[in-house]
């Protein structure tokens, strides 16, 4: 599960990535960090993967904290994936790269994605459109656009130009 509100624990960057798979090798941790596009910022930290952070992430940005949580999921490869605004604090360029990594990871897995940025969900098999706590439309991206309803209006407002 990767949430908009990150959850870290006091310890090293490595410990935080290994949380879901404590027996992971150093190579596996680094591969997961690379898949999450976190490796480069981790290498720039004072002690790299050995940098100690507090539960609030210390001086890490919100985006960096999200990348650590994404690396954690990339390492443990759960059978079900829940992403709740998982890339909301990450810049658009990095988000596109992470979406590609998530797409590979989601193959053969049930995945629930909660998102306001429609670019995050365009490839979903089924999109449930909610308004005021109710599902008002459902379908895939193309069928929802063809309906010309709420989803289509929302999509056009985000991508018209």
pLDDT of residue 64: 92
Q: Which backbone phi and psi does 53 adopt, to 5 degrees?
A: -125, 160
pLDDT of residue 161: 54
The CA-based dihedral angle spanning residues 152, 136, 111, 160, taken in that order and rounded to the nearest 10 degrees? 10
**pTM of the entire predicted model:** 0.80
Strand-by-strand arrangement of the 80-84 sheet = 2-3, 80-84, 110-114
pLDDT of residue 119: 76
User: Taking the mean position of all CA atoms in its chain, how far away is CA 1?
Assistant: 9
Residue pLDDT tens, the chain, 161 long:
787 778 899 999 999 999 989 999 999 999 999 999 999 999 999 999 999 999 998 889 988 999 999 999 999 988 898 888 877 778 888 878 888 778 888 888 888 988 877 877 888 889 999 999 999 999 999 999 999 999 999 999 887 65
pLDDT of residue 105: 82
d(CA 116, CA 133) in angstroms, rounded, equals 14
Identify the burial level of 107 via C-beta atoms within 10 angstroms of its C-beta, where 0-12 means exposed, 13-18 middle and 19 or more buried. exposed
């Amino acid at each position: 599960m990767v949430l908009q509100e990150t959850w870290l624990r006091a310890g090293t960057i490595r410990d935080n990535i290994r949380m879901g798979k404590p027996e992971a090798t150093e190579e596996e941790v680094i591969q997961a960090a690379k898949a999450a596009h976190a490796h480069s910022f981790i290498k720039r930290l004072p002690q790299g993967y050995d940098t100690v952070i507090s539960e609030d992430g210390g001086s890490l940005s919100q985006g960096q904290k999200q990348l650590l949580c994404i690396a954690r999921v990339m390492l443990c490869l759960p059978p079900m994936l829940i992403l709740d605004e998982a890339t909301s604090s990450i810049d658009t360029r990095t988000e596109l790269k992470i979406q590609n990594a998530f797409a590979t990871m989601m193959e053969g897995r049930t995945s629930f994605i909660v998102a306001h940025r429609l670019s995050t969900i365009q490839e979903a098999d089924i999109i449930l459109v909610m308004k005021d706590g109710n599902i008002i439309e459902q379908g895939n991206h193309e069928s929802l656009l063809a309906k010309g309803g709420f989803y289509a209006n929302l999509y056009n407002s985000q991508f018209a130009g």
